Amino acid sequence: MTALLETVLLILRIAQWIILIHIIMSWLINFQVLNLRQPLVAQIWYGINNLLDPIYSRIRNMLPNLGGIDLAPLVVLIGIFFLQRLIVTGGM
């Protein structure tokens, strides 16, 4: 059982890092530090977008429209943090 919980925690940590990379890349692209015309940057960006968009779209449907502010990554990170704490503390 411990191995399964450790594996789930590892997957959650990897998801957390992917979301943080996505957030940082979006800032760097918006401030024109990174350019999507570069093949490697575009490949990484669209790959991460395709990976996270199904998760974000479900969250965005539940959140109110705040204009240019996207809170979906924050909600997902809070959910990941909650799941990690739930697993580490042993449930309820």
Return d(Cα 51, Cα 49) in angstroms, integer.
Answer: 5
Return d(Cα 69, Cα 46) in angstroms, integer.
Answer: 20
Sign of CA dihedral 74, 7, 57, 54: positive
The Cα angle at residue 61 between residues 43 and 9, in degrees rounded to 5: 60
Q: pLDDT tens, 27-69? A: 999 999 999 999 999 999 999 999 999 999 999 999 998 888 8
Q: In the predicted model, is pLDDT for residue 91 greater than 70?
A: no
Model-level pTM? 0.89
Count Cβ atoms within 10 A of the Cβ of residue 7 and give its class: 0-12 exposed, 13-18 middle, 19 or more buried: exposed
